[in-house]
């Protein structure tokens, strides 16, 4: 991509212009304004050559005669297990029982998640070395992961304890005893466990600057001076550079380098295999490698036998085995013989997502996150916290992979840490947080930099007594218009700064003037068009009747703005199979009128007046129509459908009405009828794992891309609800929704009785959600970095403007940045995201989000301020786009290599010298391997046999717009034990790690990943529990695949059903429940989500992958 932001500053979309000729001008700012000299646009603004308007405009042709052609052959019934079909409750659709996973004998005793993890034979079984992991595990021959670090008893005389916040965590979390605590201000650990695959996460490798040890100001009492906007050059109230990630409570005192922090006394360390004499517990990692003797640390742990309170001798060691395939390593050869033996890796000794999430909740969930300080790492997405906007955008709007950016591109290249922001411009906020203020500057419109067009924001610096301001993005000096003039106080800040959102807040909105509107006209309110497939399949399943019935009431809940009494959105209706039926529902009619268009090759809208109507005015006619539709087509034999002409028709209707809007398409089958966009069945599983696999993800025709461009130009967003019984080519059908900012929902093998709740719930949410229409988003950056790549559901006709026919509060746009110059530590780096959109009421607005980041000259600062969840979001999106053009294996290898480079760079430049045999992870990236492994073994990158081509295409496009919280739970599902916590407790039970080892056969678990929801029932669950939940007398009588729990009047039933409701409420899509019994064949579906285990499709277990990653890192370092 050839973007160079520094040469000529590109006018923004909001550049006032006299003529707005539509989107063919690449952007809103396509024309220079009359008051500003036209900047040289160069290549940015020309229309894309291939982008031509082709749609017919004709409105004059008479509708052709109606009458559906005779039916063709019925389609084959549903046969394939599918994603959406996890929600089927239909066992027949499940995977064949022949592939049922055999439970390994060794794993039989399900380790209780809370039991101290000691020497369960199950451990070895579950990550045994078969197949792909052979080489990896072979490596274990010479390594070990040292046991978890327990908080060691404090050496006497040192006199400092653990921070209170972590102590409280220990009290509430079962596993917390296994984790040491870490503190800022600690010395880098010295690791001498040669040949050990020890893992450590030095939270604070002693940085060169002593200032880094200062507890961040943000954590302390907040000074009033910190709350205001920060101006460039004025410095920020926060910490100089570094601050601990995800730790909000500083320890009582900073520790001098070289000192040791230890855990609370009295907590027994966990079982530890082959603890080397002389090795100590590491003080700062939260899990545990063995450590070498430390000068200041008294007595090393004795032997392994004293670890933990578990009775019994340590595990006998397997015989020494040195694998010839093990990577060459001098360290390995230097090992004393007894260390070369093959060791078990204690799963509790490797970084646990559960623990990290729990720690962050405990440490950061109590205080509001105040955004006044530059470069602050926000709490994790899994932590509930409130946000106070004091000059930077809330993390609900923007999350970054790192909040401290390397000053130079050389540093950035060395670290390989992607610099990206995941932006959710219209994110919904919790009720406690205020929506962005709307600022109205009247006819003059928002104040902007003349050169780079950045909007007024808290970082602009006023000078010359307030008569001018210097742009914080491009340094241009601008005059302050007389009506905006204000005096400065003695600090150089405008005295009205706190009265103006655009001078004091990170996020706010401007009312846009007519200059920001298409054709220089204020927009009309948007319209919704419901387009319903009425072919045989849609009628047969009861879908059409269900949908029409629901719409009658749902239309009362169209999105409305503020306190408006009724929605401004107009509605229209189309039904279709091989032909299209338009309906006139004008309020003056007694009955709706149908007009049929069978010339699908040249789509036009047969009526203008009466097609888009106000719901209240036309209620009687609409109700009559919705009553009649299921009857009209009840006897249809038509099985063929068209698809592209349907979208074309909806788009033409919006164009004729001169408004933006959304099409809701309800579609059942591969569009094989003769028409533009006709598709053929090209599903071919033989392509999997070949170089041609990418074809499965690509659309089979370019027709839909062209159609999507037309839709974007019209502000026509397409939401697609699919009800396939077989392959429908989601990769092709989702092109238009994807490029128009729409959503795709898929309900495979839809049956009303099993799936209506899920479908209706999704539909209600989708119809009611607030949408910004006809939107353009632009991300500006201060000199030194620039946005170079974008991921999400949108269209781009140039390299800077993200065009979104529609954008809702669930959708994110991920933006990647690259250096184009040197950054400096003092001024930091600034981002400004501006979204121009039309509100549901037809108001044109600009939403602005600003974020200031720190810049660093030390790599350690980068690694201390990263956010792994955001990194994974970015990496998954990047990889999921990569499969369109590269073999999946190459994409996987690229991910692994990048991850290894990131960690190797840390190891080389930031970690203290130690044995190459030890895996050292940065504290805030310690979950990178486990999460990355989840991405690698996801259905898109490593599909199991039961995953269809459509499932993969579906998931691929879903992930593209996910926010960080969604990708987090999607890739690493939550597994909640239900009977461990007290029955009266209404709190969500603490999650356990997603591994079969954590399942106790005497318990019941909920597992959710944002799309799927399972209730797993262990075979030895108490009969009383079974009775209370399922109203049957024994485990064997529970219906496998059950989709609904009976409503029973007892505490356990209420609690579990309440928890299910609460989980559903947290997600943007309805998760259908599936009850899975232990040892039942449906259990294989469930196990697919136990992502720490080896997967049936060949995905590595967490432990194996960690070893593999370690090998990769060592290769890079050698
Ligand atoms: Zn500027």
CA of 397 to the centre of ligand 1 (A): 23
CA distance 422 to 961: 10
Q: Beta strand 919-920 with 199-200: parallel, antiparallel or unpaired?
A: parallel
CA of 853 to the centre of ligand 1 (A): 18
CA distance 907 to 403: 20
The two most distant CA atoms of the chain are separated, in Å, by 95
CA of 470 to the centre of ligand 1 (A): 8
- pLDDT at 1032 (0 to 100): 96
CA of 947 to the centre of ligand 1 (A): 50
CA of 164 to the centre of ligand 1 (A): 46
CA of 295 to the centre of ligand 1 (A): 54
Angle at 98 between CA 94 and CA 99, to 5 degrees: 70
CA of 472 to the centre of ligand 1 (A): 7
CA of 450 to the centre of ligand 1 (A): 6
Average pLDDT (291-304) is 33
CA of 464 to the centre of ligand 1 (A): 17
Percent of the chain with pLDDT over 90: 64
CA of 7 to the centre of ligand 1 (A): 12
Q: How distant, in Å, are the alpha carbons of 772, 795, 797 from that of 803?
A: 12, 5, 8
Give the residue, 906 or 180, on which the prediction is more confident.
906
- pLDDT at 925 (0 to 100): 96
Q: Residue 279 pLDDT > 70, yes or no? A: no
CA of 813 to the centre of ligand 1 (A): 23
CA of 1058 to the centre of ligand 1 (A): 52
CA distance 829 to 841: 36
CA of 822 to the centre of ligand 1 (A): 18
70 class by beta-carbon count within 10 Å (0-12 exposed, 13-18 middle, 19+ buried): exposed
Lowest average pLDDT, out of 266-270, 551-555, 646-650, goes to: 266-270
Lowest average pLDDT, out of 201-205, 317-321, 451-455, goes to: 317-321
CA of 400 to the centre of ligand 1 (A): 23
Q: Residue 425 pLDDT > 50, yes or no? A: yes
Give the residue, 164 or 767, on which the prediction is more confident.
767
Q: Residue 847 pLDDT > 80, yes or no? A: yes
Lowest average pLDDT, out of 38-52, 379-393, 743-757, 926-940, goes to: 38-52
CA of 736 to the centre of ligand 1 (A): 35
CA of 12 to the centre of ligand 1 (A): 11
Within 8 A by CB and 6+ apart from 307, the residues are 147, 150, 268, 269, 270, 271, 272, 275, 301
CA of 38 to the centre of ligand 1 (A): 15
CA of 26 to the centre of ligand 1 (A): 21
Percent of the chain with pLDDT over 70: 69
- Annotate 215-256 with DSSP letters as a single string: PPGGGSSPPGGGSS---TTT--SS-SS---TT--S--SSPPP
CA of 9 to the centre of ligand 1 (A): 8
CA of 438 to the centre of ligand 1 (A): 22
Average pLDDT (975-989) is 86
What H or E segment, with its residue span, contains residue 528?
Answer: strand 527-533
Give the residue, 17 or 974, on which the prediction is more confident.
974
CA of 560 to the centre of ligand 1 (A): 36
Q: Which segments of 4-141 are extended strands (E)? A: none
Residue 196 CA, distance from chain mean position: 35
- Give the pair of three-digit tokens for residue 379: 């709490």
Q: Residue 37 pLDDT > 90, yes or no? A: no
CA distance 360 to 213: 20
CA of 392 to the centre of ligand 1 (A): 18
SS3 103: coil
Lowest average pLDDT, out of 558-562, 588-592, 694-698, goes to: 558-562
CA of 783 to the centre of ligand 1 (A): 9
CA of 475 to the centre of ligand 1 (A): 6
Average pLDDT (734-762) is 96
CA of 453 to the centre of ligand 1 (A): 6
Q: Residue 288 pLDDT > 70, yes or no? A: no
Q: What is the pLDDT of residues 479-516, one digit of tens each?
A: 999 999 999 999 999 999 999 999 999 999 999 999 99
Average pLDDT (989-1009) is 95
CA of 239 to the centre of ligand 1 (A): 27
CA of 459 to the centre of ligand 1 (A): 11
Lowest average pLDDT, out of 89-98, 361-370, 508-517, 808-817, goes to: 89-98
CA of 249 to the centre of ligand 1 (A): 38
CB count in 10 Å sphere of residue 988 = 14
CA of 814 to the centre of ligand 1 (A): 23
CA of 857 to the centre of ligand 1 (A): 25
Give the residue, 918 or 581, on which the prediction is more confident.
581
- pLDDT at 325 (0 to 100): 33
Give the residue, 141 or 903, on which the prediction is more confident.
903
CA of 827 to the centre of ligand 1 (A): 15
CB count in 10 Å sphere of residue 545 = 19
Q: Residue 884 pLDDT > 70, yes or no? A: yes
- pLDDT at 94 (0 to 100): 34
Lowest average pLDDT, out of 128-137, 795-804, 1026-1035, goes to: 128-137
CA distance 195 to 339: 7
CA of 807 to the centre of ligand 1 (A): 27
SS3 1086: helix
Q: What is the pLDDT of residues 309-361, one digit of tens each?
A: 333 333 433 333 323 233 333 333 333 444 433 446 788 889 999 999 999 99
Q: Residue 971 pLDDT > 70, yes or no? A: yes
CA distance 716 to 654: 7
Nearest to 587 by CA among 608, 614, 569, 568: 614
CB under 8 A, 24+ apart: contacts of 538-545: 538/666, 538/668, 538/723, 539/630, 539/633, 539/634, 539/636, 541/668, 541/723, 541/750, 541/751, 541/752, 542/751, 542/752, 543/666, 543/668, 543/723, 543/750, 543/752, 544/629, 544/630, 544/633, 545/630
Within 8 A by CB and 6+ apart from 1064, the residues are 761, 1013, 1070, 1071
CA of 270 to the centre of ligand 1 (A): 57
CA of 471 to the centre of ligand 1 (A): 4
Q: Residue 759 pLDDT > 90, yes or no? A: yes
Q: How distant, in Å, are the alpha carbons of 28, 45, 714, 741, 797 from that of 24?
A: 10, 9, 10, 18, 9
Q: What is the mean pLDDT of the chain?
A: 77
Cα dihedral 741, 747, 751, 755, rounded to 10, equals -80
CA of 469 to the centre of ligand 1 (A): 10
Contact 1007, 975 (CB under 8 A): yes
Within 8 A by CB and 6+ apart from 1018, the residues are 110, 999, 1000, 1001, 1002, 1003, 1004, 1078
CA of 781 to the centre of ligand 1 (A): 10
CA of 402 to the centre of ligand 1 (A): 24
Q: Residue 936 pLDDT > 60, yes or no? A: yes
- Annotate 439-477 with DSSP letters as a single string: E--GGG-S-B-TTT-PBP-TT-EEEGGGTEEE-TTT--E
Q: Residue 442 pLDDT > 70, yes or no? A: yes
- pLDDT at 537 (0 to 100): 95
CA of 782 to the centre of ligand 1 (A): 8
CA of 452 to the centre of ligand 1 (A): 4
CA of 411 to the centre of ligand 1 (A): 26
Q: What is the DSSP letter of 321?
A: -
- pLDDT at 200 (0 to 100): 52
Lowest average pLDDT, out of 202-211, 772-781, 840-849, goes to: 202-211
Lowest average pLDDT, out of 156-170, 637-651, 1075-1089, goes to: 156-170
CA of 242 to the centre of ligand 1 (A): 29
CA of 824 to the centre of ligand 1 (A): 18
CA of 952 to the centre of ligand 1 (A): 43
What H or E segment, with its residue span, contains residue 908?
Answer: helix 888-909
CA of 449 to the centre of ligand 1 (A): 5
pTM value is: 0.75
CA of 454 to the centre of ligand 1 (A): 6
CA of 4 to the centre of ligand 1 (A): 15
Average pLDDT (574-602) is 95
- pLDDT at 368 (0 to 100): 95
CA of 871 to the centre of ligand 1 (A): 29
Q: pLDDT tier at 271 (50, 70, 90 boundaries)?
A: very low
CA distance 902 to 408: 16
Query: Mind listing the domains of the chain with CATH numbers?
Result: 439-505 (2.30.30.380), 527-556+566-686+704-768 (3.40.50.410), 973-1087 (3.40.20.10)
CA of 482 to the centre of ligand 1 (A): 19
CA distance 454 to 186: 42
Handedness of CA 164, 165, 166, 169 (dihedral sign): positive
CA of 267 to the centre of ligand 1 (A): 57
CA of 389 to the centre of ligand 1 (A): 23
CA of 463 to the centre of ligand 1 (A): 15
- pLDDT at 176 (0 to 100): 31
Average pLDDT (756-777) is 96
Q: Residue 1066 pLDDT > 70, yes or no? A: yes
CA of 461 to the centre of ligand 1 (A): 11
Average pLDDT (935-959) is 94
- pLDDT at 344 (0 to 100): 61
Q: What is the pLDDT of residues 834-843, one digit of tens each?
A: 999 999 999 9
CA of 924 to the centre of ligand 1 (A): 34
């Amino acid at each position: 991509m050839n973007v160079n932001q520094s040469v000529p500053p590109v006018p923004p979309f909001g550049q006032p212009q006299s003529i707005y000729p539509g989107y063919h001008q690449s952007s809103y700012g396509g024309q220079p304004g009359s008051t500003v000299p036209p900047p040289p646009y160069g290549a940015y603004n020309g229309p894309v050559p291939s982008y031509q308007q082709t749609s017919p405009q004709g409105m004059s042709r008479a509708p052709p005669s109606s009458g559906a052609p005779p039916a063709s052959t019925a389609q084959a019934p549903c046969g394939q297990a599918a994603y959406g079909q996890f929600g089927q409750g239909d066992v027949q659709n499940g995977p064949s029982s022949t592939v049922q996973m055999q439970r390994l004998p060794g794993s039989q005793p399900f380790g209780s998640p809370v039991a101290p993890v000691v020497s369960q034979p199950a451990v070895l079984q579950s990550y045994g070395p078969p197949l792909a992991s052979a080489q990896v595990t072979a490596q274990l021959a010479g390594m070990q992961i040292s046991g978890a670090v327990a908080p060691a008893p404090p050496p006497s005389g040192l006199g400092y304890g653990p921070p209170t916040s972590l102590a409280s965590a220990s009290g509430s979390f079962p596993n917390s005893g296994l984790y040491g605590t870490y503190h800022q201000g600690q010395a880098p650990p010295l690791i001498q466990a040669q040949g050990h695959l020890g893992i450590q996460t030095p939270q604070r490798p002693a940085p060169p600057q002593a200032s880094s040890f200062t507890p961040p100001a943000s954590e302390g009492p907040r000074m009033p001076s910190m709350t205001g906007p920060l101006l460039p050059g004025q410095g920020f109230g926060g910490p100089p550079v570094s601050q601990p990630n995800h730790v909000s409570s500083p320890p009582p005192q900073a520790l001098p380098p070289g000192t040791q922090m230890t855990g609370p006394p009295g907590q027994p360390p966990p079982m530890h295999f082959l603890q080397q004499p002389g090795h100590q517990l590491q003080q700062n990692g939260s899990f545990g490698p063995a450590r070498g003797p430390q000068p200041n640390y008294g007595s090393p742990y004795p032997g392994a036998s004293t670890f933990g309170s578990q009775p019994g001798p340590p595990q006998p060691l397997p015989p020494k085995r040195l694998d010839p395939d093990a990577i060459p390593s001098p360290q390995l050869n230097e090992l004393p013989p007894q260390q070369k033996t093959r060791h078990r890796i204690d799963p509790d000794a490797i970084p646990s997502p559960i623990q990290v999430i729990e720690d962050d909740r405990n440490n950061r969930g109590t205080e509001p996150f105040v955004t006044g300080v530059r470069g602050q790492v926000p709490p994790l997405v899994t932590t509930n916290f409130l946000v106070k906007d004091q000059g930077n955008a809330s993390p609900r709007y923007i999350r970054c992979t790192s909040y401290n950016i390397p000053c130079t591109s050389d540093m950035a290249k060395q670290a390989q840490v992607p610099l990206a922001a995941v932006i959710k411009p219209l994110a919904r906020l919790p009720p406690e947080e205020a929506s962005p203020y709307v600022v109205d500057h009247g006819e003059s419109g928002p104040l902007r930099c003349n050169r780079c067009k950045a909007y007024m924001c808290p970082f602009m610096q006023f000078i010359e007594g307030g008569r001018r301001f210097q742009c914080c993005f491009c340094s241009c000096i601008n005059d302050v218009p007389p009506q905006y003039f204000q005096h400065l106080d003695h600090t150089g800040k405008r005295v009205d700064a706190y009265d103006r959102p655009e001078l004091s807040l990170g996020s706010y909105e401007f009312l846009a003037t007519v200059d920001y509107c298409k054709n220089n006209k204020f927009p009309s309110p948007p319209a919704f068009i419901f387009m319903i497939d009425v072919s045989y399949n849609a009628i047969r399943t009861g879908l059409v009747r269900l949908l029409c019935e629901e719409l009658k009431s749902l239309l009362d809940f169209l999105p409305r703005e503020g306190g408006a009494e009724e929605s401004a959105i107009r509605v229209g209706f189309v039904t279709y199979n091989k032909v299209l039926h338009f309906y006139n529902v004008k309020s003056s009619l007694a009955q709706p009128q149908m007009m049929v268009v069978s010339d699908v090759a040249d789509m036009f809208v047969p009526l203008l007046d009466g097609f888009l109507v106000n719901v209240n005015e036309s209620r009687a006619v609409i109700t009559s129509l919705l009553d009649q539709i299921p009857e009209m087509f009840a006897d249809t034999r038509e099985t063929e459908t068209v698809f592209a002409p349907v979208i074309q028709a909806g788009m033409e209707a919006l164009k004729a009405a001169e408004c933006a809007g959304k099409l809701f398409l309800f579609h059942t089958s591969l569009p094989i009828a003769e028409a533009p966009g006709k598709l053929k069945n090209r599903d071919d599983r033989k392509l999997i794992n070949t170089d041609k696999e990418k074809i499965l993800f690509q659309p089979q025709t370019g027709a839909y891309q062209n159609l999507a461009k037309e839709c974007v130009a019209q502000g026509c967003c397409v939401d697609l609800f699919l009800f396939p019984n077989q392959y429908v080519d989601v990769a092709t059908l989702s092109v238009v929704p994807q490029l128009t900012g729409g959503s795709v929902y898929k309900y495979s093998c839809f049956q009303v009785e099993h799936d209506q709740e899920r479908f209706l719930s999704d539909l209600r949410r989708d119809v009611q959600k607030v949408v910004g229409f006809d939107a353009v988003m632009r991300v500006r950056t201060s000199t030194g970095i620039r946005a170079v790549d974008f991921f999400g559901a949108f269209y781009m006709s140039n390299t800077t403007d993200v065009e979104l026919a529609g954008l809702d509060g669930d959708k994110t746009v991920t933006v990647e940045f690259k250096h184009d110059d040197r950054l400096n530590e003092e001024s930091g780096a600034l981002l400004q995201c501006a979204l121009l959109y039309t509100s549901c009421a037809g108001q044109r607005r600009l939403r602005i989000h600003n974020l200031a980041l720190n810049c660093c000259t030390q790599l350690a600062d980068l690694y201390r301020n990263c956010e792994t969840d955001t990194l994974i979001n970015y990496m998954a999106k990047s990889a999921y786009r990569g499969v369109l053009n590269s073999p999946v294996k190459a994409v996987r290898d690229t991910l692994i290599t990048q991850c290894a480079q990131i960690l190797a760079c840390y190891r080389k430049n930031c970690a203290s010298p130690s044995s190459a045999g030890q895996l050292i992870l940065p504290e805030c990236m310690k979950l990178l391997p486990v999460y990355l492994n989840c991405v690698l073994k996801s259905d898109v990158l490593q599909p199991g046999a039961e995953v269809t081509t459509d499932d993969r295409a579906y998931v691929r496009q879903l992930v593209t717009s996910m926010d960080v919280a969604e990708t987090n739970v999607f890739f690493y599902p939550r597994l909640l034990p239900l009977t461990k916590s007290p029955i009266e407790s209404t709190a969500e039970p603490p999650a356990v790690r997603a591994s079969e080892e954590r399942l106790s056969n005497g318990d019941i678990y909920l597992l959710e990943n944002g799309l799927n929801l399972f209730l797993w029932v262990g075979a030895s669950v108490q009969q009383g529990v079974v009775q209370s939940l399922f109203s049957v007398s024994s485990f064997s009588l529970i219906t496998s695949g059950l989709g609904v729990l009976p409503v029973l009047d007892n505490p356990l039933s209420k609690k579990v059903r309440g928890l299910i409701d609460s989980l559903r409420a947290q997600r943007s899509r309805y998760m259908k429940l599936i009850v899975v019994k232990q040892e039942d064949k449906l259990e294989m579906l469930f196990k697919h989500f136990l992502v720490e285990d080896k997967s049936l499709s060949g995905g590595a277990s967490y432990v194996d992958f960690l070893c593999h990653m370690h090998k990769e890192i060592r290769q890079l370092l050698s």
